[in-house]
C-alpha cells in the first residue's frame, strides 16, 4: 500500500516537473479535454489522449506523428497544456498523441519507467517502451501517418523516457527531443541512427546541467544512479549518429546552442537556456510550485522545426 509519505514525494515530484495533478483540463479553445482512449499492453489497460487535426484523419497525404510524454507525477492534460503541441499540430497538420504513464491512481501522479527513474513505473518495471511502441503501431494502422516521420519528445521523466525510446526503438523513431532530461551513462548504443535535440536549463535544480544526483524533489523517485552532465547527452547521440567530435557553439543572449556536424539526414543539437529551471521554455507553468519557464526559446517551435527537418 502506498504510504502518505510516498504519495507526498510523488506530489512534490509533480511540482518539480512543473505539472499540476488535475485530471480534467481545457484545451486551447477552452473545451474539455478529449476522453482517454485505451490500449491493453502487457495485461495492463493503458491510456492516451489523441489529437488529430482537421484533414489528417481521412486525407491521402501522409502526416507526421509526435509523441509527447508528460513529466513524473503528471498526465496527458498537463503535457498538452504545458507544451502547446496541440495548437502546433493544428497549424502544421501533424497528429499528436499524449500517452500516460502508470501509478496507483489511473489519472494522476503517473510516472514512466526510464530505467533509473521514476517512482511507481520504475519500481514495478513497467514496459513503457513496449506500450508506446504498440501505441505508435496502432496509430500508423489507423491514420495516414508517415512511418518515416514518427518523433518523441517529453519533459523531465518524460524526457528520460524519450531517450529510452530513441535507444530501444531506434528503428521506429526518426528523432527525439528530451526537455530538461538526462542520461545516466550506462545506456547501450542503439543499432540505428536517431536525430536528437536536447534542451536543458542552467537554473535547473531538479536535473542539474552539470550532472550528479537529481535535486531534492526527486528523493525517493529514482534509484540513486547519478545523472550525466547535459552535454554528455549530445555526445552520446553524436557518437550514435556518426557526427564530428567537436560541436560548433553559438551563444545568443538567451541560450547557448551546440550543433554537431553529422552525416546527411542526421542531426544532434543541445540548448542550454540561461534563465530556465525545470520547466518547458516558452510554455506554460504547470503548477504554482513549478519553476517559471524562460520566455525564449520557444521549445515547441524549436522542436517541431527540428522534427520536420529530420525524417528517418
pLDDT in tens, 25-53: 333 333 455 689 999 999 999 999 999 99
Q: Which CATH superfamily is domain 4-308 in?
A: Alpha/Beta hydrolase fold, catalytic domain (3.40.50.1820)
d(CA 240, CA 229): 18
pLDDT of 91? 95
pTM of the full structure: 0.89
pLDDT beyond 80 at 186: yes
Residue ranges covered by each domain of the chain: 4-308
At CB < 8 A and 24+ separation, what contacts does 288-293 make? 289/12, 289/15, 289/16, 290/15, 290/16, 290/17, 290/18, 290/19, 291/18, 291/201, 291/203, 291/204, 293/18
pLDDT beyond 80 at 307: yes
pLDDT of 21? 31
Which cell numbers hold the place of 206? Answer: 531538479
- Band the pLDDT of 274: cuts 50, 70, 90: very high
pLDDT beyond 60 at 148: yes
Amino acid at each position: 500500500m502506498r504510504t502518505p509519505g510516498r504519495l507526498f514525494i510523488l506530489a512534490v515530484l509533480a511540482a518539480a516537473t512543473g505539472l499540476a495533478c488535475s485530471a480534467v483540463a481545457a484545451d486551447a479553445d477552452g473545451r474539455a479535454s478529449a476522453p482517454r482512449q485505451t490500449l491493453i499492453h502487457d495485461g495492463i489497460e493503458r491510456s492516451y489522449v489523441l489529437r488529430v487535426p482537421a484533414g489528417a484523419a481521412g486525407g491521402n497525404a501522409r502526416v507526421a506523428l509526435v509523441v509527447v510524454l508528460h513529466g513524473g507525477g503528471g498526465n496527458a492534460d498537463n503535457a498538452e497544456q504545458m507544451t502547446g503541441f496541440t495548437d502546433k499540430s493544428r497549424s502544421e497538420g501533424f497528429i499528436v498523441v499524449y500517452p500516460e504513464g502508470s501509478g496507483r491512481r489511473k489519472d494522476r501522479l503517473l510516472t514512466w519507467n526510464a530505467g533509473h527513474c521514476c517512482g511507481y513505473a520504475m519500481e514495478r518495471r513497467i514496459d513503457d517502451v513496449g506500450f508506446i511502441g504498440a501505441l505508435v503501431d496502432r496509430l500508423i494502422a489507423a491514420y495516414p501517418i508517415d512511418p518515416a516521420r514518427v518523433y518523441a519528445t517529453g519533459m523531465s521523466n518524460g524526457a528520460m523516457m524519450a531517450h529510452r525510446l530513441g535507444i530501444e526503438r531506434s528503428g521506429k523513431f526518426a528523432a527525439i527531443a528530451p526537455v530538461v532530461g538526462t542520461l545516466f551513462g550506462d545506456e547501450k548504443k542503439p543499432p540505428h541512427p536517431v536525430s536528437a535535440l536536447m534542451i536543458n536549463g542552467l537554473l535547473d535544480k531538479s536535473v542539474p546541467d552539470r550532472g550528479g544526483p537529481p535535486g531534492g524533489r526527486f528523493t525517493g523517485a529514482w534509484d540513486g544512479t547519478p545523472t550525466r552532465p547535459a552535454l554528455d547527452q549530445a555526445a552520446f547521440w553524436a557518437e550514435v549518429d556518426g557526427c564530428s567530435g567537436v560541436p560548433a557553439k553559438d551563444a545568443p543572449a538567451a541560450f547557448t546552442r551546440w550543433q554537431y556536424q553529422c552525416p546527411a539526414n542526421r542531426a544532434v543539437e543541445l540548448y542550454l537556456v540561461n534563465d530556465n529551471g525545470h520547466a518547458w521554455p516558452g510554455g506554460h507553468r504547470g503548477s504554482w510550485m513549478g519553476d517559471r519557464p524562460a520566455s525564449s526559446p520557444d521549445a515547441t517551435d524549436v522542436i517541431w522545426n527540428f522534427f520536420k527537418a529530420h525524417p528517418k
